[in-house]
Homo-oligomer: A and B are copies of this chain.
Amino acid sequence: MTLYPLFVFMLLTMSFLISLIERKIKRFYFFKFKVTGYIENIEKTQKRIKMSETSVQSLKNIAIKIRISSVETTAAAKSGHPTTCSSCAETLSVLFFRIMRYKACSPREPCNDRFVMSKGHAAPALYAVWAEIGLIPTEELLNLRKIDSDLEGHPTPRLSFVDVGTGSLGQGLAVASGMAYIGKYIEEASYRVYCLLGDGECAEGSIWESINFASFYKLDNLCAIIDVNRLGQAGPTMFGHDVEKYQKRLDAFGFHTIVINGHEVEELISAFESAEKIKDKPTAIIAKTIKGKDFPGIENEDNWHGKPLGDKTEAVLQHLRTLLPPDINTFDFTIKQPLSKVKAVNINNIFLSKLPDYTKGDKVATRNAYGTGLLKLAETNPRVIAFDGDMRNSTFSEYLLKAKPKNFVECFIAEQNMIGAATGACTRNRCVAFASTFAAFLTRAFDQIRMAAISQSNINICGSHCGISIGPDGPSQMGLEDLALFRAIPTCTVFYPSDAVAAERAVELAANTKGITYIRTTRSATPVIYDNNQIFKIGKANILLESRADKVLVIAACITLVETLEAAKLLTASGIYIRVMDPFTIKPIDKNGIIKHAKEVNGRILVVEDHYAEGGIGEAVLSAVAEENDITVKIAAIKEVPRSGDPTALLDFYGIDSVSIVGYVQDILRGRC
């Protein structure tokens, strides 16, 4: 009997300790992109209370709670977009608590419906949703936009419930379309994809590329919601509240369209339910909304974009609270579960079905070997998918189309959507996506590539027809800034294979490399220089010519490497020896190798590249030796807008051919450089 109080005390203490540990675990998983226990508890609680759908009144309540949270968190952060959150509060409430099917305890479960918030500046509303679900501790919300919180100003996949970073407008629908394409045609799964867009971002052409793509491929598992709140950042959008303009355009582009009042929960439910029934067409729900809805004195007013409510905060919060029923703490919700599981997929350790099979000295374009490598990968893993922009017969991604049409996605001439869709395809590790076009045209998708890095994407990109060596088509078709572009992407590995063997291995390595990869291929056929069993490593250069008598280290890749090897012959004839390095990857570049070999030739480096001087191999080499004394680097690169011409004539004219290289080496040795 005397032990009874002690027993109770121990029980209470243990339960307190367990709750503390649970919080710690939750916090840990929260930052590591998954939450388990906590949400399961939430779900059990729900099951106990109610198994039916979340009621209309509860959805209305949640929308108000989203508004309250958005006002509070942006006030705490002293920045953010509460009025933008307010216009989409009912949409989010209905989507997450009535329409979407997902395992809330595991936001990245492959069978879950997907949600992409294209209007990323409404992040606080999304965070409020996941706090309501139970994934984010309410107190964490007030750390919005702080350096030690993952609740960033715009959503990023540092959070488990975010698949891709958004915030550069006009990109979400491409990603969502890619997810929907994979869901419908590759996974043949039941999950649906929802994408919330702002009205302002519909001026971005990229949106119309994606609308076109989704309609062309009949992505009926895709539902876009356009939050027409009338106001952009600087002023009204192009069409204000003229929802018919949006409807007419989307109709013309082949979408099923539904116009609703975006603050009426019943209308939202009905629209989403009707969208689920539409076959062979994606749906767009055009939701007429009010920016700053339910914020007295602010709603529908200009000049309230991207700012917290300042001295109006308290009044607005008070008003919002009056909109909630007094028994708010006891309201309930249910989250629908996925209809079916999806197949387990393994996209690790992907390898070529056959070894490279070339004869040294034969001429094979690296772009051709790219296509061969791609097909060989798809032969060992069915989830290797190629995207191309009407260039498949130039990039040679057509090898995959011809052998395995299901693994090929023609994106037509729309590079932004191509990169976005491929990024979407990569999410949740369901596919290994390769996207290809001319290197020059990848500049079109720089913003999408930049955002893919923020999205922690593993997308692989191939740019063909690099440099002036493409010849007569002229400067518009020459990729001369692609290395500068991809080197400036923090998560990117940049391959620049110098022959067909290297190209196939680059494709294989790319498929297995985390982060973005870029493979630069060349139009002209160039000689095979490596053995078929040559081993290539990221960040490891290969030395092609070496002797104790070497006077200069020449670093060059593919077309300029061919010229360098030719120059070496000419130089040897006059008794000058050079060491020749093929870097293989430009990022990371083989820093140690460069320094070692440079020192062995008295610190003289010559870089020869078919790229503009800025941001290319030369500057990568300079960065590698930046902190070394006694190393000088001469860079031979393209320094002006080039012209059309025969490839050989152009290499000569712009000073990156073998004769020019001989001249540079002689100049370096004469101390003229």
The chain A residues found within 8 Å of chain B, CB to CB, are 77, 79-80, 120, 145-147, 149-150, 152-154, 156, 158, 165-170, 200-201, 203-209, 212, 216, 232-235, 237-238, 248-249, 251-253, 388, 390-394, 398, 410, 412-417, 440-441, 443-444, 446-447, 450-451, 453-454, 471-477, 480-481, 484-485, 487-491, 587, 603, 612-615, 618-620, 622-623, 626-630, 632-635, 638-641, 643-646, 649-650, 653, 673
A383, B228: Cα distance in complex, Å:
36
Q: How far is the CB of A200 from chain B (nearest CB, A)?
A: 5
In the complex, which of the residues B167, B447, B476, B639 contacts A168, with contact meaning CB atoms closer than 8 Å? B476
**A261–B152 alpha-carbon span in the complex (Å):** 54
Of the listed residues A237, A474, A649, A653, the one surrounded by the most CB atoms of chain B closer than 10 A to its CB is A474
Nearest residue, chain B, Cβ from A622: B622
Out of B145, B200, B235, B628, which one reaches A645, CB within 8 Å? B145
Contact partner of A644 (CB less than 8 A), chosen from B146, B417, B491, is B146
Contacts of A453 in B (CB 8 A): 641
Chain B hits for A237, CB < 8 A: 412
Known contacts A170-B413, A208-B208, A490-B638; 11 further A-B pairs (Cβ under 8 A): A120-B476, A152-B475, A153-B474, A156-B475, A156-B476, A233-B391, A234-B398, A235-B390, A450-B481, A454-B641, A626-B633
- Identify A412's interface contact among B232, B416, B603, B627, CB under 8 A: B232
A391: B residues at CB distance < 8 A: 233-234
**Complex interface: chain B residues within 8 A of A152 (CB):** 474-475, 643-644
Contact A232 B484 (CB under 8 A): no
CA separation between A248 and B251, bound complex, in Å?
9
Residues of B within 8 A of A216 (CB): 238
**Complex contact B451–A447 (CB within 8 A):** no
Q: Are A454 and B441 in contact (CB-based, < 8 A)? A: no
Q: List 27 A-B contacts (CB under 8 A).
A: A79-B471, A79-B473, A153-B644, A154-B477, A167-B476, A167-B477, A168-B441, A201-B413, A203-B390, A205-B414, A212-B238, A234-B393, A234-B410, A249-B249, A252-B252, A252-B253, A444-B447, A446-B447, A481-B488, A484-B487, A484-B488, A487-B614, A488-B612, A490-B641, A491-B641, A619-B619, A626-B635
Cβ 8 A contact of A440, one of B168, B212, B633? B168
Distance between A320 CB and nearest chain B CB, rounded to angstroms = 23
Chain B residues contacting A603 (CB-CB under 8 Å) are 629
Given A158-B643, A234-B398, A393-B233: A153 in contact with B200 (beta carbons within 8 A) = no
Residues on B with beta carbons closer than 8 Å to the beta carbon of A79? 471-473
CB <8 Å contact, A204 and B472: no
**With contacts A472-B79, A476-B166, A487-B484 known, is A628 near B632, CB below 8 A?**
yes
